[in-house]
Amino acid sequence: MEWVWTNFGLIWGLTLSQVWLSALPIVIGFVVSIPLGYLASRSRVARSILLSVGGILYTIPSLALFIVIPVVIGTSLLDPINVIIALTIYAVAIMVRSSADAFASVPGSVQDSATAVGFSRAQRFFAVDFPLSGPVLLAGIRVVSVSTVSLVSVGSVIGVSSLGFLFTDGFQRRFYTEIWAGIVGTLVVAAVFDIALVLIGRALMPWNRRATPNLARIVGSKRSLVLRK
Amino acid sequence: MNLFIEGFGWIFDPKHWVGGSSIAVRLGEHFQYTGVSLFFAALIAVPLGLFIGHTGKGRGIAIAASNVARALPTLGLLAVLILSLGIGLLPAAIVLVILGIPPLLAGVYAGIESVDPQTVDAARAMGMTELQILRKVEVPLGASLIFGGFRAATLQVIASAVVAAYFSLGGLGRFLVDGLAQNNYPEMVAGAILVIVVALAVDGILAIIQRFVVPTVSSGTRSTKRTARGGAIPPVAQSRTLIKEGQ
């Protein structure tokens, strides 16, 4: 425990890079998945293409993806952008399915009523489809958030610094405290992200406060529920 | 992009296919780790999942298992376990078994749980014993989710075995880790290509098996429930959601 206090500066710095490296993929993944998921919910062909491509990308083990990405886009191996891109790919792969199911869960009668009272397609999307699919989207992004935070640490194998550094360094020094500090730190970051997402959801969907526990169960992907890597 | 060509060149270089750390040996190790670990993970997770799914007892364990598995960093878990168990095949197998259990358990549990209670009651009313219900009703009807859990567990173990190479384990991850340590980029890229090919091939084979062997449940099997908003949830989404309860 004493080690934690004397090295608090190191741990804090690593925590910040952990936060940074996981927040970006979560946010970018969410933003990218919304139009893709909407597309997938409207067309069977788009759905099957997007979900198969997502499934294939999600199948690639993270360490291999971290190494292949710099080769494809020509960045340096140590560039944190590789980890961010890889984790964004995973996030999109999970989230497209969630958001496709989220948009599909909006009742057709409600959409028809919106059209009947004169909403344009874009208006209907922003005023009806998007808010109504909010709870399911929230459930999906929570899954993405937790798995992204835990995956960031694998990047430390290729030298991208995060709380994972405590795992590799602790292993080499045969020092359990350091490894445990890393595990606890990762769990804390994941928990803080999860709480933040729930609070954002509450603020944005005040009408849903009581219905959330019910609707949050509708998560898009059985694969996203069962974590890998 | 050039590195890809060098990577493939490395893979197809005959001298990398002979000797104690050849591609064939590493490939064999990887499949060995995966197969052995999945076998023991299944030995633990399948009966447990069937029990939890059928009786509803200990659902908290199944839910916690899937949540914890998602949140715990694999690398940290590997570091702690390999440090305490020592380097070698047995500790590696134990670690991979531990990592393979949660997705499998969650899949089996969710599969059984997804079966319409009315169908189970009907089977019971017809005089089936609990074991018959499990074998003839719940397992066939939940088969696609159960198999999905098995697929996820397989990929989890394959991917974790790659990371485990960092902790002096064999398998395909060795090429990644050794190549990285020696700044041997072709070897590293070759390792990454091999890992990706193996993961995709195994998942592809499992997908084909799932398609032709595992029975799929027609969407009429489960009575459609209404959401709080009055919309119908598709039956499949309903069953998927079951693992999520408690989050």
Contacts of A187 in chain B (CB under 8 A): 71-72
A173 near B CB under 8 A: no
- Residue-level pLDDT at A209: 64
Please report, for chain B, the start and end positions of each structural domain, with discontinuous segments joined by +.
Answer: 30-170+204-244
Do B145 and A222 count as a contact with CB atoms less than 8 A apart?
A: yes
| CATH assignment at residue A155 | 1.10.3720.10
B203 near A CB under 8 A: yes
A229 pLDDT higher than 80: no
Which B positions 11-50 lie with beta carbon below 8 A of chain A? none
Average pLDDT value for chain B: 79
Do A71 and B189 count as a contact with CB atoms less than 8 A apart?
A: yes
Cβ-based neighbours of B76, under 8 Å, separated by 6 or more: A153, A164, A166, A167, A179, A182, A183, A186
Contacts of A154 in chain B (CB under 8 A): 73-75, 163
More confident site: A27 or B16: A27
Which B positions 85-114 lie with beta carbon below 8 A of chain A? 102-103, 106-107, 110
DSSP string across A111-180: HHHHHHTT--HHHHIIIIIHHHTHHHHHHHHHHHHHHHHHHHGGGGGGT--STHHHHHHHHHTT-HHHHH
Do B102 and A67 count as a contact with CB atoms less than 8 A apart?
A: no
Do B159 and A219 count as a contact with CB atoms less than 8 A apart?
A: no
Mutate which: A58, A226, A229, vs B, most B CBs within 10 A: A226
CA distance A173 to A154: 18
Comparing A18-32, B84-98, B102-116, B180-194, the range with the smallest average pLDDT is B84-98
- Residue-level pLDDT at B1: 62
Which amino acid would we find at residue A76?
A: S
- What mean pLDDT is predicted for residues A78-87? 90
For residue B66, give the nearest of A216, A217, A225 by CB distance: A225
- Residue-level pLDDT at A210: 58
Predicted structure pTM score: 0.82
CA distance A113 to A123: 13
CA distance A187 to A199: 18
Contacts of B237 in chain A (CB under 8 A): 101, 105, 218-220
Mutate which: A53, A63, A136, vs B, most B CBs within 10 A: A63
- pLDDT category of residue B238 using cuts at 50, 70 and 90: very low
Burial environment of residue A40 by CB neighbours within 10 A (0 to 12, 13 to 18, 19 or more): buried
For residue B83, give the nearest of A56, A101, A176 by CB distance: A176
Inter-chain contacts counted by CB atoms under 8 A, chains A and B = 205
Superfamily of domain B30-170+204-244 in the CATH hierarchy = MetI-like (1.10.3720.10)
Which A positions 3-22 lie with beta carbon below 8 A of chain B? none
CA distance B32 to B169: 12
ipTM over 0.95 threshold:
no
Which residue is closest to B163 within chain A, CA to CA? A63
Which A positions 126-165 lie with beta carbon below 8 A of chain B? 132, 139, 142-143, 146-147, 149-151, 153-154, 156-158, 163-164
Closest to A220 measured CA to CA, from A128, A131, A109, A92: A92
- What mean pLDDT is predicted for residues B138-157? 88
Q: pLDDT for A163-207, tens place per residue? A: 888 888 888 888 888 889 889 999 999 999 999 999 999 888 887
Residue B194: which H helix or E strand, with range?
helix B185-212
Q: pLDDT for A137-173, tens place per residue? A: 998 899 899 889 988 988 888 888 888 888 888 888 8
User: Are the beta carbons of B220 and A203 closer than 8 angstroms?
Assistant: no
Contacts of A216 in chain B (CB under 8 A): 244, 247
Do B244 and A225 count as a contact with CB atoms less than 8 A apart?
A: yes
Range(s) of the domain holding residue A40: 2-225
A18 pLDDT higher than 70: yes
B49 pLDDT higher than 80: yes
Closest to B66 measured CA to CA, from B27, B37, B109: B109
Mutate which: B1, B72, B75, vs A, most A CBs within 10 A: B75
CA A69, A71, A77, A82: dihedral to nearest 10 degrees?
A: -20
CA distance B227 to A138: 16
B211 pLDDT higher than 50: yes
CA distance A29 to A88: 5
- Residue-level pLDDT at B240: 43
Q: Domain count of chain A?
A: 1
Q: pLDDT for A41-68, tens place per residue? A: 888 898 889 988 988 888 889 888 988 8
Q: pLDDT for A97-141, tens place per residue? A: 899 988 888 888 888 899 899 888 888 888 888 888 888 899 889
